[in-house]
């Protein structure tokens, strides 16, 4: 038994298979684009609806610091409020309607 395997012997068989599939190239391209499009839509759906547990929310809330005002600034505002009538009325207006200019 002599096994004569050359590179040229399977080449015509492969070419005939390619020629047989040539009419279906458009279908294969369509299926490829549909698969890529479907994968992208699936990934967008996964990323737009993340599942977040309470532990992650609590850890993020602990790491974020609340607003802080210096003690010196508080003392200055209190002395300004105590000394000036205009500032007192400004503070009262700000408390009664904070969104009016």
pLDDT in tens, 20-50: 888 899 999 999 999 999 999 999 998 898 7
Tell me, what DSSP letter sits at residue 100?
-
76 pLDDT more than 80: yes
2 in a structural domain? no
CA–CA distances in Å: residue 56 to residues 17, 25, 33, 51, 63? 56, 49, 37, 10, 11
pTM of the model as a whole: 0.41
59 in a structural domain? no
Give me the pLDDT at residue 8, please: 63
Confidence category of residue 92, pLDDT binned at 50, 70, 90: confident
33 in a structural domain? yes
63 in a structural domain? no
78 in a structural domain? yes
90 in a structural domain? yes
| Torsion from C-alpha of 70, 74, 80, 86, nearest 10 degrees | 110
60 in a structural domain? no
Domain that holds residue 85: 70-101
* 47 and 20 in a common domain: yes
Give me the pLDDT at residue 3, please: 65
64 pLDDT more than 80: no
5 in a structural domain? no
Number of domains present in the structure of the chain: 2
Give the position of tokens 């700000």.
Answer: 94
């Amino acid at each position: 038994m002599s096994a004569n395997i050359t590179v040229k012997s399977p080449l015509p068989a492969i070419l005939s298979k390619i020629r047989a599939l040539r009419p279906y190239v458009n279908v294969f391209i369509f299926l490829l684009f549909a698969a890529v499009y479907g994968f992208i839509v699936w990934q967008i759906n996964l990323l737009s609806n993340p599942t977040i547990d309470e532990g992650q929310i609590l850890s993020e809330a602990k790491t974020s610091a609340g607003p802080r005002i210096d003690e010196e600034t508080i003392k200055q505002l209190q002395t300004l409020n105590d000394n000036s009538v205009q500032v007192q009325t400004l503070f009262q207006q700000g408390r009664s309607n904070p969104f009016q200019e």
